Amino acid sequence: MSDMVKLRRQHESTLTLIQGIGARIDNIGSEPGADEAFELGLLLAKLSGGLRRHLVRENKDLYPRMINSDDAEIAETARRFRNEIGRIGHDFDIFIERWRNIVDIRRNWSGFRLETKQIFDMLEQRIERENTILYVLADRVAAPERAVRAA
């Protein structure tokens, strides 16, 4: 399986998890019970781990290959996306750190819900941009490599 297929599948998994967490939050009333908060904590940990693995793969394989491309548009777009993800990753890390304790989730349910919606919206927008801009260009870089391997 190609690197791009794996990255796209990770995006699909991330979006499914984000939507699932969002639906669970929406179905909880004015305050989560201990079990619900615990489950949300586990799901956030799963999301965090998946995103970290995804970012490592992009930083190790995708960005260097694109930045070293002879195509200036591809190289510049990859640089811009890499710089942006640093800020997004930082914001996500702060979010995860703030809400890693289920007591805090229960104590400030409205704050948790608001911040979760904001960070999830940001992640969904980023994934959409990667799928429609960055990965389309990445396919152009990978296409010559596949042609060489096939010959």
Give the predicted TM-score (pTM) of the model.
Answer: 0.89
Question: Domain containing 136 — which CATH number?
Answer: 1.20.120
Domain range spanning residue 115? 3-150
Over residues 90-100, the pLDDT tens digits come to: 999 999 999 99
Q: How confident is the model at residue 148 (pLDDT cuts 50, 70, 90)?
A: very low
54 pLDDT more than 60: yes
Over residues 8-38, the pLDDT tens digits come to: 999 999 999 999 999 999 999 889 999 999 9
84 pLDDT more than 80: yes
Q: 10 Å Cβ neighbour count for 69?
A: 19
Over residues 99-140, the pLDDT tens digits come to: 999 999 999 999 999 999 999 999 999 999 999 999 999 999
pLDDT at 29: 84
pLDDT at 144: 54
pLDDT at 141: 87
The mean pLDDT of the chain is 92
Q: For residue 24, with 0-12 CB atoms within 10 Å meaning exposed, 13-18 middle and 19 or more buried, which class applies?
A: middle
- Give the number of domains in the chain: 1
Greater pLDDT, 46 or 2: 46
Distance of CA 3 to the CA centre of its chain: 16
